[in-house]
Amino acid sequence: MGDVPMLGDKRMLILSLEDTVNEETTVFIISIVCLAVTQPKQPSHEVWYNFTNDTGWQSDGLVFLLGLINPIYGFGGLDGAVHLGEDCFEPAKAVPRAIVNSLVVGFITTFFFAISMLYCVRDLGAAIRSPTG
């Protein structure tokens, strides 16, 4: 994979776009298949309104913010867009555009996937109590 940058600008762009389409399609297919085969699904009230704090901490707000640590880890790659600014044309436009596009695509994909999985989880307590929970 280290030789990929030697392909040139056009082929690198095509490879990158193909990879992005492949990743987004995979997330979409996994979400749809899980929603299609999971019966029964969680009721909407459980997904959208019920917040369960079984951590032992008193503050629901703090527990919610601590729960965001794992999803935020996925955005650690935003630093890469800043480093690419050294190698692109018009970095004052390209870098902010890359960061915003990455955040928008990442949020839409993650939100759709997370909501799909919340509808598909049958027994959250059993999942948490499992050895891998």
Q: What is the pLDDT of residues 9-32, one digit of tens each?
A: 677 778 878 988 898 899 999 999
Whether residue 41 contacts residue 119, with contact meaning beta carbons closer than 8 Å, is answered with: yes
How deeply is 81 buried, as exposed, middle or buried, from its count of CB atoms within 10 A (0-12, 13-18, 19+)? buried
Convert 19-56 into a string of H (helix), E (strand) and C (coil).
HHHHHHHHHHHHHHHHHHHCCCCCCHHHHHCCCCCCCC
pLDDT at res. 4 = 56
pLDDT at res. 28 = 93
* Range name among 19-23, 62-66, 83-87, 113-117 with the lowest pLDDT average: 83-87
Helix (H, G, I), strand (E, B) or coil at 58: coil
Say whether pTM exceeds 0.75. no
For the record, the structure tokens of 96 come out as 């902010």
- For 29-75, write each residue's pLDDT tens digit: 999 999 999 989 888 888 888 887 878 888 888 888 888 877 776 66
- Determine the average pLDDT of the residues in 99-103: 83
The DSSP symbol for 2 reads: T
pLDDT class of 133 with cuts at 50, 70, 90: low
For the record, the structure tokens of 131 come out as 């050895």
Rg, C-alpha atoms of the chain: 19
pLDDT exceeds 80 at position 118: yes
How far is the C-alpha of 117 from the C-alpha of 111, rounded, in Å? Answer: 10
